[in-house]
């Protein structure tokens, strides 16, 4: 085992053996891993996705029933497509995080553990907060068991494992259905990363094509990734283009293929959003301050907006009764702003520590002896 090199004071250097002093002095500097460039488009797109979902839920008339406003509902009726943006981003960023690291299938479980450390703890904390809200409503406000009466250990465990689609239980947080699909995608990338991103385009098209065909098999409804695979593929194509592994004609042709698959499986709106997101990842090269800031907390906003907005509605309608459309619009805006503010706090206290933990310790350069 090589000796550990420690920084020494000048008067301690003569205590080193001559051989060790000469070998360390002549040793070449250690090359640290080169950090990957900041991609401005990703944060901007994350912000748009999270805000779209937030506005969709805050105006759909279901999550905030006392603030139903038809004009707002029509304006943000397609906000659910923010989820499709997230899927395309994942199709890009997950394999992007593995490029240059010599990933092999032998490291599958370490890779999956890293993803779990990044995603699961914030999701679990948000789930705990939702359960707390349910108990407060049932036991303190309404004195019944409307929300908590049907809770069971099996339902809780399957929510924690994101396996609800394979059971008869219901989601506690309805947003978790997307996390279930994300983890199915993580497994796919962990198994086939090298075939997808270090071999010829035929492997990429073939494997993702098989994913689309597998969605036609009976009994595959629970495997949501099969039905959304074309969106993840569009993100992967953006990565291949960013890494200069495709010619322009091949890139355009592949985009049309998987855009067509997305249209077939999910509809024209999803296909257009998927194609637009894939192109925007590489096209947006400038930083947009507000969107960059919002993009950093996008996962927290996605997890927390429903909890904060429904709690805010309960309190705000007592301060400003929603008797007019103007008041309803103001209250909806207040709920969205409070959701963003709460998500900033959640990011700092919950998400950011686990983000650092998932990233691992930064390599430190050796100090001169």
What is the overall mean pLDDT for the chain?
89
Predicted pLDDT at 20: 36
Residue 268: how many CB atoms within 10 A of its CB?
Answer: 11
Q: How far is CA 295 from CA 41, 51, 120, in A?
A: 10, 9, 19
For residue range 6-50, what is the model confidence (pLDDT) as tens digits?
333 334 333 334 333 334 444 444 444 556 677 878 999 999 999
Predicted pLDDT at 40: 79
Mean pLDDT, residues 78-102 taken together: 97
Share of the chain above pLDDT 90, in %: 83
Predicted pLDDT at 38: 72
DSSP H helical segments within 243-362, as ranges? 248-266, 268-283, 289-296, 298-319, 325-346, 352-359
Mean pLDDT, residues 82-107 taken together: 96
Helix (H) or strand (E) holding 51: helix 40-59
The residue assigned the tokens 């855009």 is 259
Predicted pLDDT at 19: 39
Dist. CA 167–CA 163, nearest whole Å: 7
Mean pLDDT, residues 287-300 taken together: 94
Quick check: 174 and 305 in contact, CB under 8 A?
no
Which positions ≥6 away from 147 have C-beta within 8 Å? 134, 135, 137, 138
pTM for this prediction? 0.88
Dist. CA 133–CA 255, nearest whole Å: 44
Dist. CA 78–CA 267, nearest whole Å: 12
Predicted pLDDT at 360: 74
Of the ranges 51-60, 164-173, 255-264, 355-364, which one carries the lowest mean pLDDT score? 355-364
For residue range 295-333, what is the model confidence (pLDDT) as tens digits?
999 999 999 999 999 999 999 999 999 999 999 999 999
Contacts 24+ apart (CB under 8 A), 56-62: 56/80, 56/82, 57/305, 57/306, 57/309, 58/305, 58/309, 58/332, 58/335, 58/336, 58/339, 59/332
Q: Is the pLDDT of residue 260 over 70?
A: yes
């Amino acid at each position: 085992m090589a000796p550990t090199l420690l920084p020494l004071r000048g008067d301690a250097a003569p205590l080193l053996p001559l051989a060790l002093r000469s070998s360390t002095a002549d040793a070449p500097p250690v090359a640290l891993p080169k950090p990957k460039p900041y991609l401005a488009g990703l944060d901007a797109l994350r912000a748009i996705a999270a805000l779209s979902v937030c506005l969709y839920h805050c105006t759909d008339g279901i999550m905030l029933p006392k603030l139903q406003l038809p004009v707002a509902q029509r304006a943000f009726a397609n906000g659910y497509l923010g989820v499709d943006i997230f899927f395309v981003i994942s199709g890009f960023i997950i394999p992007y995080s593995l490029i240059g690291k010599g990933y092999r299938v032998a490291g599958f479980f370490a890779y999956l553990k890293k993803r779990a450390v990044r995603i699961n703890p914030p999701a679990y904390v948000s789930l705990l907060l939702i359960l707390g809200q349910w108990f407060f409503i049932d036991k303190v406000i309404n004195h019944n068991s409307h929300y908590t009466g049907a809770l069971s250990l099996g339902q809780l465990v399957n929510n924690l494992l994101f396996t609800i689609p394979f059971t008869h239980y219901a989601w506690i947080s309805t947003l978790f259905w997307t996390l279930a699909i994300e983890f199915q995608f993580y497994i796919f990338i962990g198994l086939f990363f090298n075939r997808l991103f270090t071999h010829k385009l035929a492997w990429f098209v073939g494997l993702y094509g098989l994913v689309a065909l597998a969605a036609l098999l009976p009994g595959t409804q629970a495997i949501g990734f099969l039905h959304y695979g074309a969106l993840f593929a569009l993100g992967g194509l953006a990565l291949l283009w960013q890494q200069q592994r495709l010619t322009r004609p091949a890139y355009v042709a592949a985009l049309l293929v998987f855009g067509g698959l997305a249209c077939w499986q999910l509809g024209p709106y999803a296909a257009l959003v998927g194609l637009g997101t894939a192109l925007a990842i590489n096209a947006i090269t400038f930083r947009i301050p507000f969107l960059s800031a919002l993009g950093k907390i996008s996962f927290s906003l996605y997890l927390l907006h429903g909890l904060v907005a429904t709690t805010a509605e309960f309190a705000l309608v007592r301060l400003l009764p929603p008797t007019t459309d103007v008041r309803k619009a103001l209250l909806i805006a207040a709920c969205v702003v409070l959701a963003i503010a709460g998500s900033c706090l959640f990011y700092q206290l919950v998400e950011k520590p686990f983000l650092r933990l998932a990233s691992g310790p930064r390599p430190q350069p050796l100090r001169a002896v």
